[in-house]
Chains A and B, each alone.
Chain A
C-alpha cells in the first residue's frame, strides 16, 4: 500500500513539475514538434522547410522500385508528379490538346495538372504531400514485382532474409544517399519483424516505412 502511495506521490510531483508547455507537448502525435525537440533548428526561423519537388520524389520512387515502363509509373505520374501539392509550377497552358475535337490526347501530358490548387505552389511541408506519398508507397509495396525489385537490391540471393542492421541500412540508403540511419532508427525498423509473421511481410512494412518517411524529401 505504502509503495503504491509512494508511486502516486512521485507521479503527482512529477506531473506538477511539468510546465504548461511540456504538458501541451503531450499532443505530440498530431502537433508540430516542441521547441525542445527542434532546439537548434529555431536559430534560423526566417525560412520555411524546403521540400523536394515533384520531379525528385517521382524520380526516387521510379528508381528505387524500378518502376520505369511499368504500370506503377502511371500512378506515380498521376499521384505524385502531377500533384501540385509537391510544389513547383503546374503550367495549365502546357497541356494543350492536339486540335482534334473531343480528343483526350494532349501534348506534354506530363505537365497536365490534375487538381485545382493554384497554379504555383511552394514545395513545402504540408500534410497533403505525405498523404499522397503514403498512398503511392502502399501501392508500390503491394505491387509484387516492384517489391521484388527492391529485394534484389538488398539481397543478392534474391530471397528476403532477416532484417539485420546491415540489410536495413542498405534499404535506408536506397532512399537516403547522403545520410545514414542511427542505431535507434535501425532498431525500430528491425522491430517491425516482431509484429509481422515472416520476413517477407516484415520487409514489406520496412520498405513502406522508409518510403513514406518525409526525411528523404526534406532538403
Chain B
C-alpha cells in the first residue's frame, strides 16, 4: 500500500485520536484509548441517528400553549373547591353548570383526589371516537393562586415563559440543552420573550406552509463533498471541531455557531416528504377535534350545560360584547361545527411535527380568538335595536364583556377543544419511544394565558385577574392529578372565590409568584431556573415529580 493510499484511508478512529491528543485529553495510553472509544461510540450514535435511532428523543422537551387574551380559568383548570369542602363564596360569574330552570351554580366532579370544575364530566373528541376528559387529568399539575404582580396582557403573557421581563426564558433554557437541530421554534410571537444563554436562535414559523419554511434550506444537492464522502467528510468535521475548540478563547458564543452548523449538517442528511401535505393533514386532524368540540354531537354534549336550551333575555348574563346582548332563540347556538380557536390547529400541528420528528425541543405556540362565533340575534342596549342576526364574528378572549351564561357555554366548548388537542398531542408523545420509556415522560406541556379573570358581581363579564393567576402543566412525569396553591375565599370587594392568591406556609406565608412556577418547570425539565430565589413546588425522583409544597386551601 502506498503511503499516499495509506494516508487517504486515515480512519475516524485515528482522526479522533488526533483530536484527543491535540486537545490534551489523551494524556495516557489507557485514557487515550478509553476516550477514543467513547468518542467513537458517540459518532456511531450519530450514524445510528441518521438510521432512525435518534438521541434527540432523549432530551427534555418543552411545549408551551399560550392562550392569548387572559382566559377565565375557573371553568377548567382552576379548581376553587379542590378538596370538596373548602370555604367557597359564590360569584354569579363563576359558574360551571346550569340548573334546569336556567339559573347557574358552581358544580364540581371528583378527579383523582381533587374536585375539578363540572366540565371535567365532559367527553372529548378523539381521532377514533371520544374519551373522558378526565383521562388527561392524571398527567396534570395545577398551580393556582399565582400573583403576577403586574397588570399587563403582553408582559404577563411573556412572563409565563420568561418570568423576568427581558430575562432568560424557559424556552431558551431548554433550547440551550437540546440535541435537536432546530432547537426552538414557535408561532405567533414566542420570539418576543425567547432568551437563552448560548445564543441559540428561535425560529418563527408563520404562514401556511411553515414546515417547508423550516426545512427547505436543508435540502442538499447531490454529491456534496461535505456529506457522505467518508474520510474527507471526517477530515472536514475534525477541522471544524478544532476551530470550535479554538474559538472558545476568541469570543463569546462562537462555539454555539459550530454546534448549529453541525445541526445543519444533520438536517441535510435527513429525508423529508411533502411537508405541505403533512402540515395540512395535521392541521385538519386538529381542526376536526376543535370543530367537534364546538359543535358537539349528542354523545359529546355535557349534561348540565349543553342539554338545556333557552332563549336570550338581553340581560347581563347574556352579554356578548360591550353593547350587545344575546337575544336569539337558543343560547347553545353560539358555536357550531364552523367554530375554531384561531391558530390552535396550526400551532398543534407544528408542535406535533417538530417534537415527534426529533427536530425541536422548545415549541411555543399561541392561540387567538374564537372565530365563527355565531350571533343568532343580538340586541344593542344603547340603540335599543337588534344589532345583528345570524352573523359570524370573532369573539375575543379578553372577555370583559361576556356574560356568565354565554361564557359557560363558550368556555365549556373552548376547553373541550383545548383538552381534545392536548389529548391527541399527548397520545402521539406517548407513542414515541425513548430508551427509558416514552417521549411524554420527557416532555412538559405548559398551558398558559396572560392571567386569570376577575369576575364581575353582576355576571356581565370578567376583568384582569392578574392577582390570582394559575398555571397548568401536563407531563408523563405525573401519574396522578396534582393541585397546589392557596387562594383566598373572597377579596376586598367581596367578589367571592375566584382564584385570588393566598399565602403559603411553605414559603413563609408569602403568595406564590411566577418565579415559583418558573422554578417548578425548570425542576421538571432538570434545568437551571431563571428565578433562583424562588422555590419549586416539585422535586424530581427517578424521573417522576412529587410535590414538595402541598398546600391547597381556600384561606381567609
Residues of chain A touching chain B, judged by Cβ–Cβ distance below 8 Å, are: 7, 10-11, 14, 24, 26-33, 37-49, 51, 83, 85, 115-118, 121-122, 124-132, 134-135, 138-139, 141-142, 179, 181-182, 184-185, 187-189, 191-197, 204-205, 208-209, 212-215, 217-218
Q: How many residues of B contact A (CB 8 A)?
A: 89
CA distance A100 to B305 in the complex (A): 60
A29 to B236, CA, bound (A): 13
The reply to whether B259 and A215 contact each other, CB–CB distance below 8 Å, is no
Asked if A10 and B242 make an inter-chain contact with CB atoms under 8 angstroms apart, the answer reads no
Q: Can you list 10 A-B pairs, Cβ within 8 angstroms, ordered by A?
A: A31-B177, A46-B195, A48-B195, A49-B253, A125-B201, A129-B217, A142-B225, A189-B239, A192-B235, A195-B7
Contacts of B4 in A (CB 8 A): 197
Chain B residues closer than 8 Å to A122, beta-carbon distance? 201
Is B242 a contact of A27 with CB atoms below 8 Å? Answer: no
Q: Is B260 an interface residue (CB 8 A)?
A: yes
B247 touches A128 (CB 8 A): no
**A205 x B225 contact (CB < 8 A):** yes
Q: How far is the CB of B263 from chain A (nearest CB, A)?
A: 4
B555 interface hit (Cβ, 8 Å): no
* Cβ contact within 8 Å between B204 and A118: yes
User: B243 near A29 (CB under 8 angstroms)?
Assistant: no
| Residue contact B197 to A194, C-beta cutoff 8 Å | no
CB-CB < 8 A to B550: which residues of A?
Answer: none
Q: Is B478 in contact with chain A by the CB < 8 A criterion?
A: no
Separation of A187 and B238 alpha carbons in the complex (Å): 10
8 Å CB contacts to A: which residues of B235-264? 235-236, 238-248, 250-264
Q: How far is the CA of A73 from the CA of B326 in the complex (A)?
A: 63
Q: Are A209 and B240 in contact (CB under 8 A)?
A: yes
Also in contact, A134 and B268, with CB within 8 A (given A26-B38, A195-B235)? yes
Residue in chain B with minimal CB distance to A41: B252
CB-based contact A194/B226 at 8 Å: no
| Residue of chain B at shortest CB distance from A36 | B248
Question: Could you tell me if B252 and A191 are in contact, using CB atoms closer than 8 angstroms?
Answer: no
Is B213 in contact with A126, judged by CB distance below 8 angstroms? Answer: no
Q: A32 to nearest B CB, angstroms? A: 5
A208 to B412, CA, bound (A): 59
Q: Chain A nearest CB: distance from B522 CB in Å?
A: 15
C-alpha gap A99/B384 in the complex (Å): 51
Docked CA distance A141–B241 (Å): 21
Q: Which residues of B have CB within 8 Å of A135?
A: 220-221, 224
Pair A185/B260 contact, Cβ less than 8 Å? no
List the B side residues contacting A29 at CB < 8 Å. Answer: 42-43, 46, 262
Given contacts A46-B195, A192-B235, A215-B257, contact A33 B244 (CB under 8 A): yes
Contacts A32-B178, A117-B206, A197-B4 given: A46-B167 contact, CB under 8 Å? yes
User: Does B544 interact with chain A (Cβ within 8 Å)?
Assistant: no
Q: How far is the CB of A132 from chain B (nearest CB, A)?
A: 5
Distance in Å: Cβ of B528 to nearest Cβ of chain A: 10
Interface contact A115-B260, CB-CB below 8 Å: no
B226-A138 in contact (CB<8A): yes
How many angstroms from the CA of A14 to the CA of B260 in the assembled complex?
30
Flag if B251 contacts A194 (CB, 8 Å): no
Q: Which residues of B contact A (CB under 8 A)?
A: 4, 7-8, 10, 15, 18, 22-23, 30-31, 33-34, 38, 42-43, 45-46, 49, 55-56, 166-168, 175-183, 195-201, 203-204, 206-207, 209, 213-214, 216-218, 220-221, 224-226, 231-232, 234-236, 238-248, 250-268
Across the interface, do B255 and A141 meet the contact criterion of CB distance under 8 Å? no
Partner of A208, one of B175, B206, B225: B225
8 Å CB contact of B239 from A43, A127, A131, A209? A209
Query: For the complex, what is the distance from the CA of A142 to the CA of B222, rounded to whole Å?
Result: 12
Q: B257, A218: Cβ atoms under 8 Å?
A: yes
| A-B complex: 4 closest residue pairs judged by Cβ atoms | A49-B199, A214-B257, A126-B201, A188-B242
* A interface SS class: helix
Write out the residue numbers on chain B whose beta carbons fall within 8 Å of the beta carbon of A213. Answer: 240, 243, 258, 261
Q: Which of A10, A125, A181, A197 contacts B257 (CB 8 A)?
A: A125
Q: A38-B198, A134-B268, A197-B8 are in contact. Are A192 and B217 (CB under 8 A)?
A: no
Q: Which of A10, A139, A185, A215 has the most CB of B within 10 A?
A: A215
A122 to chain B: closest residue by CB = B201
Which A residues touch B7, using CB under 8 A? 193-195
Chain B proximity of A113: nearest CB distance (Å): 12
What A residues does B263 contact at CB under 8 A?
30, 127, 130
Separation in Å of the B95 CB from the closest CB of chain A? 42
**Cα distance A134–B258 when bound, in Å?**
12
Select the residue from A117, A132, A179 with max chain B CB neighbours within 10 A: A117
Given known pairs A14-B34, A30-B259, A41-B255, the reply for A130 and B264 (CB within 8 Å) is yes
Known: A188-B239, A215-B247. A127 touches B221 (CB 8 A): no
CB-CB nearest in chain B for A37: B255
8 Å CB contact of B207 from A37, A116, A128, A184: A116
Tell me the smallest distance from the CB of B222 to a CB of chain A, in Å: 11
Contacts of B33 in A (CB 8 A): 7
Nearest-CB distance from A65 to chain B (Å)? 16
Q: Which residue of A lies closest to B215 (CB)?
A: A128
